[in-house]
Amino acid sequence: MKTKKQAVKQKIIATTVVLFMLFMMFGSLNLPGALATTTTTNLIQNFIAGSFGHSAMTNVVFPDITVGTAVNSLGNMVQTNMWDLRGSGVGWSVSGQLNNLYVTNGATGINWINNSEIAWDPTSGSLMATSGVTTSMTKGAAQFFGAAARALVTAPAGSGMGNYRINNVVFNIVYNGRVDQKVAPYVAILILTSA
């Protein structure tokens, strides 16, 4: 009986030594199903829509006009910033609408210039992406204002995601040289709309 026990002990010790040597030579043993388990973990990050809009300079200043002298008075809208961080790519536009140019000091008589005599030329401006996906956008046409809104920049669907800028859009006041125009500062309000 002792010899049987000794033989079993020797086999256990020999097996242990062999396993230890194999482990030392080849690293850990991969025993499928016995010790190894596999799990998966989902990493979830939610992105939410950012903002959409524009910002423009406060004033466009024109040179002085002498009463009675017909002239095209040119002004420059130096910079307009536009952004679409909504992540949808639905497309957008920025348009402008202008009221008549009126005196600011209450002078009566011929104290306005009709907005149909004031034009802008978005094609004169340089359109650039500051951190945008694409510049396949279009600048609005050169045209007089009148009653309707006029396009400054349009981004079709799939374009215009990111930050953009249009520089140096030229404005033109076509003054016909009326001799009875009131001497005063005149102001018109340009309303830019992002949609």
Q: How does pLDDT run across 78-126, given as a tens digit for each residue? A: 999 999 999 998 999 999 999 999 998 877 778 999 999 999 999 999 9
pLDDT of residue 31: 54
153 SS3 class: strand
Domain count, the chain: 2
The residue assigned the tokens 């026990």 is 5
- In a shared domain, residues 34 and 68: no
Residues 63 and 98 in one domain: yes
What are the tokens at 28?
């850990």
**Would 46 be classed as within a structural domain?**
no
Q: What tokens appear for 188 in the block?
A: 């018109």
What pLDDT score was predicted for residue 17? 73
12 burial level (CB within 10 Å; 0-12, 13-18, 19+) = exposed
Cα 16 to chain centroid, rounded: 68
Question: Are 70 and 21 contained in the same domain?
Answer: no
Q: Are residues 170 and 139 in the same domain?
A: yes
pLDDT of residue 58: 93
User: What are the backbone dihedrals phi and psi of residue 6, each rounded to the nearest 5 degrees, phi first?
Assistant: -65, -40
On whether both 12 and 94 belong to a single domain, the answer is no
The pLDDT of residue 27: 63
Q: 21: how many CB neighbours lie within 10 A of its CB?
A: 10
Residue 20, both tokens: 């230890």
Rounded distance, CA 33 to CA 48, Å? 43
Question: Would 44 be classed as within a structural domain?
Answer: no
Find the DSSP H helices in 46-129: none
- Is the domain of 138 the same as that of 96? yes
Domain that holds residue 79: 52-194
Is residue 43 included in any domain, yes or no? no
Residue 193's closest CA among 34, 28, 82, 61? 82
Sign for the CA dihedral angle at 12, 15, 19, 20 comes to positive
Query: pTM of this prediction?
Result: 0.75
Low-confidence ranges of the chain (pLDDT < 50): none
- Residues 128 and 108: their CA atoms lie apart, in Å, by 44
pLDDT of the residue at 62? 97
